[in-house]
Amino acid sequence: MSVVRRFYPEVSLRDLIGEPGGIKIGAALEQASANIEMMRDDGMAAIDAKIAKLQSLTANDNLDDLASCYPISDEIFAEAGAFGLTEVSRVAHSLCSLLSAESLLLVPRQAVRVHLEAMVALRSAAISNSPALRTAVLAELTRLSARFAT
């Protein structure tokens, strides 16, 4: 008959949670939000610069340029989400999905341009300040993307 031996590894995080000091979760989240707000202007400028970079990369049909669009779009996806630009983040994610095709030769260039124009529109003051217009831009993007997919 075999003997069952149990092993309980030491978990340092469990021990640290019980230690005095540190900050509460709510306070940490508030501080994180404040830190993001301090970077908002720089973050918005960085997102706009990345959108402009994508536009310049897609101005021609160079496959190498198109291949370099995915990581930039992925950065926009993450950064826009962090700054609460939900719709811009969704468009960037959709662009990432489009650019992840097995072959970039199969990616409709018009669909890429439509995604970029949607990002530009969503960053404009007139649309970014109106939830109804942001929703309309996403609805149109979805409709147009469906046309390109067929």
Helix axes 69-82, 86-99, angle to 10 degrees: 160
Specify whether the CB–CB gap between 99 and 66 falls below 8 A: yes
Whether the pLDDT of residue 150 is over 60: the answer is no
Tell me the C-alpha to C-alpha distance, in Å, between residue 142 and each of 41, 42, 46, 147. 29, 29, 25, 9
pLDDT, tens digit (0-9, with 9 covering 90-100), for 4-55: 888 777 777 777 777 777 788 898 899 999 998 999 999 999 999 999 999 9
Nearest partner of 81 among 68, 71, 91, judged by Cα: 91
Q: Does 71 or 111 have the greater pLDDT score?
A: 71
* Percent share of the chain, pLDDT over 90: 45
Q: Can you give the pTM of this predicted structure? A: 0.78
Across 8-12, 115-119, 138-142, least confident range:
8-12
Cβ burial of 94 (10 Å; 0-12, 13-18, 19+) is buried
CA 55, distance to chain mean position in Å, is 17
Q: Domain residue spans in the chain?
A: 41-149
